[in-house]
Amino acid sequence: MGWISENVESLKSIQIRQFLTQAVSLGLIVTSALIIWKALMCITGSESPVVVVLSGSMEPGFKRGDILFLRLNKDPIRAGEIVVFNVDGREIPIVHRVIKVHERQDTGEVEILTKGDNNYGDDRLLYAHGQLWLQRHHIMGRAVGFLPYVGWVTIIMTEKPIIKYILIGALGLLVITSKE
């Protein structure tokens, strides 16, 4: 309780100019994070250059909480590659391995079938109703690297939103009340 009262007293003693300076600093931090994200999108060619593995469907290769780095380019997708894809009607992307690729000779369109390494069957049950294959536009990127367990922070904040709000509030208070 002493920490909170000290910060409340600190907030009372802050002058308007110092408060505005700290608010601008907080804005710069947020803006910098967005610029870095957009730069990563341009460099990797992926709308989501970093994703967190949310389930155990890719174990033992990738575990829940691992962070994957993605890249999307024009190279042909091959069986065995790990891709992240969006399915129509679902907002959360899925990380699975490509098990079959069909290229139509007449149109050049590519059809892709995926499967989680830890799943028994292919992903056709996960696809949109009536969809048997993924097309190129469903693919968000290919896994090019990973960091184990770092994504647990995201999972915890998603599953327990109160922790996210406490953390954001504490960081904002820290930035606003810092004397420098």
List 46, 66, 88, 96, catalytic entry? 96
Within 10 Å of residue 93's Cβ, how many Cβ atoms? 20
Indicate if 102 belongs to the active site: no
List 46, 66, 123, 138, catalytic entry? 123
Residue 146 exposure: Cα atoms within 13 Å on the Cβ side: 21
List 46, 48, 55, 57, catalytic entry? 57
User: What is the three-state SS of the chain?
Assistant: CHHHHHHHHHHHHCCHHHHHHHHHHHHHHHHHHHHHHHHHHHHHCCCCCEEECCCCCCCCCCCCCCEEEEECCCCCCCCCCEEEECCCCCCCCEEEEEEEEEECCCCCCEEEEEECCCCCCCHHHCCCCCCCCECHHHEEEEEEEEECCCCHHHHHHHHCHHHHHHHHHHHHHHHHHCCC
Strand partners, 67: 52, 147
Indicate if 96 belongs to the active site: yes
Provide the annotated active-site residues. Answer: 57, 96, 123
